[in-house]
Amino acid sequence: MAATTLTAVAALALAGCTSGGGTDSGEDEPAGDGVLNLWYGYEPGQADAITELIAQWDEANPDVTVEITAMGPELNPPSLLPALSAGEGPDMWAGTIGPGPSQAFIDAGLVRDLTPYYCDNGWNDVIPDELATISTTDGKLFAIANSIESTGMFYRKSIFEQLGLEVPTTWDEFMDVVTTLVENGYETPIGTAGQDAWPVTHLLGAMWMSAVGPDGIEKTLFGDGTWTEDGFQQATQMFADLQGNGYFGTEPLAYTYQAMTADFYNGVVPMTYTGGFVIPGAQEDAGENFDDIGVFALPSVVDGPIYANASPGEGWYVNANSAYADEAADLLNFLFFTDESRTKILEGGLVPVGPVDVSEVELPSVLEELLSEQDKYRENGTVPTFIEVLTPGAIFEVMQNGVQGILAGSTSPDQLTQSIQTAWETEKEAGNTLDASAAPQC
Amino acid sequence: MARTATRAQALTHQQRVRRRHLLRRRTLIAYAFLAPALILYVMFVVRPTFQLFGMSFYTWNGVSPTRDFVALDNFTRLFADPLFWKSLRNNLVFVVLLVAFNVTVGLITASALARATRGRLLYQLVFFLPVVQASIVTALVWKWIYQPDGLLNRLMEDVGLGFLTRGWLGDPNTALPALALAAAWSGFGLSVVIFLAGIQGIDHTLYDAAKVDGANVRQMFFNVTAPQLRPVVTVVFLLEMIGAFQTFDIIWATTRGGPVSATEVLATYMFKRSFTEAQFGYGAAVAVTLMIIVLTAALISLVIRERNED
């Protein structure tokens, strides 16, 4: 791949920044016990690029020992809240980013203001403003995103080759691919994992973004747009049609993410809409089939342009009461802002935030394709990958329920968009939506 | 003579005083022994319960030092939320299925076991095994059983019922009964053990008398066993009902309340509002409502039992 400079942009044309240089990082700090506790959502025993880098930093910093608690796949585990509210909990942790559950910790003053580190260490030169804004409250930066996530339609190349299928670039071509797969005995041409709900909402979210584009989503999130406007309605109807035609299989609601992923790796399911976050695990789980996985951008559902998509992955937070705030910030600096670490994270299958030179990096093939697809369409604009990063938790809950309702045939597209609009109005009134006017300034 | 009588009366008075003193001492000792448990109960049950009641009148995100008093707003919102009513309806269905299964099948199984002369202990152990099993294990086992390619569907295909196979937990019509059955399976052994203990406590002369009167097995069950077990049935009924209302883990580990909220119960509804959406005041309102429902149901069943006994 030619040298590529990626600037991950979350497609939010956000208004001006408020003033504020953050709080003083030299607050009274409690005495430490030499241990920097870190809670991180990875599978126990499974080393990834980040855990390896943490071990490397740990070795180079003998004054403090990092103890990692594996939190499994659960973002914001329920134990985090009581631990933090009791004045205990980890010195730093990785959790959701945006106006979801993490916002409660920030509002309660339990999260360290990272703005001084952001300014002093030059993180502001790396993190695009649009992205920093998502983890900013009242002009203060509270989280560092570990990666930029993009999604696409992941497919099995050998199946496409065997059936003489080309990667589709229009919705009609995509439908041709789907029908050909069905005609050739693939009962579930698009794997959705409806039982776990969240994977299939990514597909619907992508269809929404495709229909309304960067301006439409900005208008809805920060302006007077609604979730019941034509673009959302049309995309939801098309999603319901995919279900109605049986393209998600006979029983998508009985399909778990685990079972669907296994079927995809085994070639039972030829396509699934997912993101770069699966790549680190897929290298191990898909085994020799890993190189057979390809990815293409979802064609426009309205015969319009295809947009690139980007959203921050996990956010890394530092405990406001930690005795090791400076060490935690130093660890963040090492993990996400040094060339060596960024290269290692890329090689591991995740895309670090900010400009990345991939010319000298040996990327997993599917990540290379995913980045290439994003680059191809970036000039058309960028839309958010994950709705849940930009909306309060209640919205995603309503969305998941509605998507399952469509898969079950008990919810109409109109009902789904209307229920989201109702929840959105409630959350907006309560002041729980993302504040577009705030951004950290140095 | 008169002197002797006075002395006797004096002794009696002394004895009475001593007895009263002894009784008071014993009572004090009893209270002293009870005190630690009582203090712990007040600290960890009574106080948090009152705190929960208090919290339900506030909006609070669970971590913030400040909370806003909203009087009954949380309850108003709760009763206006269709998902709350759906969760309550699901909870009631779950309770009915679980209690009906564990009380009826548990009682029948215990009666059969009581008549068994060999292997009773083995059966008891087999039935009781799921009770001691971690609920998360039960959930995972049943999730596997109910999968589209799981044990249940394979079994149905083998016996010619392939047309009935489905993804049991993915179908909004079957997910709740399927989970109720799984929960019943995990608690069924306890009902059997309690019923069996009750049956073994029934006076055998009643059965002998029934036999002399020519009663058959069915008549003995309905005319001797069942009436004698009424207090035990009440206990099992209450335990199962309270447990069913509180069900959380098996649902959370399998469906998380889905699909389409088909398995959403009050506990999962409360958990999501509290821990996913950081609305602890609202979650407390759900908890208080659940507590009132369970207490009311328990009181009604106790009153009915008392009335029947009268």
ipTM of the complex: 0.75
Name every residue whose Cβ is closer than 8 Å to that of residue A239 and which is 6 or more positions away in sequence: A203, A204, A207, A403, A406, A413
Interchain contact, B168 vs A254, CB within 8 Å: yes
For an interface test with B, give the residue of A243, A397, A429 to mutate (most B CBs within 10 A). Answer: A397
- Tens-binned pLDDT, residue by residue, of chain A (442 aa): 333 434 433 333 332 222 233 334 444 555 667 899 999 876 555 567 888 999 999 999 999 999 998 876 666 677 888 788 777 789 999 988 877 778 888 888 889 999 999 999 999 999 988 888 888 888 899 999 988 999 999 999 999 999 999 999 999 999 999 999 999 999 999 999 999 888 999 999 999 999 999 999 999 998 899 999 999 999 999 999 999 999 999 889 988 888 899 999 999 999 999 998 888 888 888 989 999 999 999 999 999 999 999 998 889 999 998 999 999 999 999 999 999 999 998 888 888 998 887 788 888 899 999 999 999 999 999 999 998 888 888 888 899 999 999 999 999 999 999 999 999 998 888 888 887 666 688 8
Q: Nearest Cα to A25, choosing from A396, A330, A399?
A: A330
Interchain contact, A408 vs B168, CB within 8 Å: no
**Which positions in chain B touch A408 (Cβ < 8 Å)?**
171-172, 259-260
**Which positions in chain B touch A319 (Cβ < 8 Å)?**
none
The confidence score (pLDDT) of residue A437 equals 62
Homologous superfamily of A151-309+385-429: Periplasmic binding protein-like II (3.40.190.10)
Cα–Cα distance, B55 to B286 (Å, whole number) = 11
For an interface test with B, give the residue of A93, A107, A110, A195 to mutate (most B CBs within 10 A). Answer: A195
Cα–Cα distance, A187 to A194 (Å, whole number) = 15
Of the candidates B62, B166, B259, the beta carbon closest to that of A408 is on: B259
Interchain contact, A81 vs B275, CB within 8 Å: yes
Omega of the bond prior to A413 within 30 degrees of 0, cis?
no
Q: Pseudo-torsion of CA A196, A198, A200, A205, nearest 10°? A: 170
Put simply, the chain B residues between 45 and 64 with a CB less than 8 A from any chain A CB are 61-64
Q: Could you write out the three-class secondary structure of B41-53?
A: HHHHHHHHHHHHH
For an interface test with A, give the residue of B51, B86, B277 to mutate (most A CBs within 10 A). Answer: B277
Cα–Cα distance, B86 to A397 (Å, whole number) = 15
Interchain contact, B260 vs A194, CB within 8 Å: no
DSSP secondary structure string, B179-242? Answer: HHHHHHHHHHHHHHHHHHHHHHTS-HHHHHHHHHTT--HHHHIIIIIHHHTHHHHHHHHHHHHH
* A293 φ, ψ (degrees, to nearest 5): -85, 125
Of the candidates A105, A108, A253, the beta carbon closest to that of B259 is on: A253
Residue type, B12: T
Is the separation of the CB atoms in A89 and A80 below 8 Å?
yes
Fold classification of A35-148+311-359 is: D-Maltodextrin-Binding Protein; domain 2 (3.40.190)
Of the candidates B167, B261, B277, the beta carbon closest to that of A254 is on: B167
Domain boundaries, chain A: 35-148+311-359, 151-309+385-429
Interchain contact, B260 vs A405, CB within 8 Å: yes
Identify the H or E element spanning B140: helix B135-146
Shortest CA distance from A391: residue in chain B: B277
Q: Nearest Cα to A190, choosing from A125, A132, A264?
A: A264
Distance (Å) from the alpha carbon of B170 to chain A's nearest alpha carbon = 4
Q: Report, in this order, helix, strand and coil percent for chain A, each rounded to 5.
A: 45, 15, 40
**Which positions in chain A touch B268 (Cβ < 8 Å)?**
none
Q: Pseudo-torsion of CA A136, A137, A140, A143, nearest 10°? A: -40
Cα–Cα distance, A150 to A277 (Å, whole number) = 8
Is the separation of the CB atoms in B253 and B75 below 8 Å?
no
Interchain contact, A195 vs B259, CB within 8 Å: yes
Name every residue whose Cβ is closer than 8 Å to that of residue B133 and which is 6 or more positions away in sequence: B186
Distance (Å) from the alpha carbon of B82 to chain A's nearest alpha carbon = 12
The confidence score (pLDDT) of residue A1 equals 39
Of the candidates A78, A392, A405, the beta carbon closest to that of B275 is on: A78
pLDDT, one tens digit per residue, over A51-84 is: 899 999 999 999 999 999 887 666 667 788 878 8
The sign of the torsion formed by the CA atoms of A394, A400, A402, A404 equals: negative
Where does A41-162 show beta strands of DSSP type E?
Answer: 65-70, 92-95, 136-137, 140-141, 144-145, 148-149, 151-156
Chain Cα centroid distance, residue B44: 20
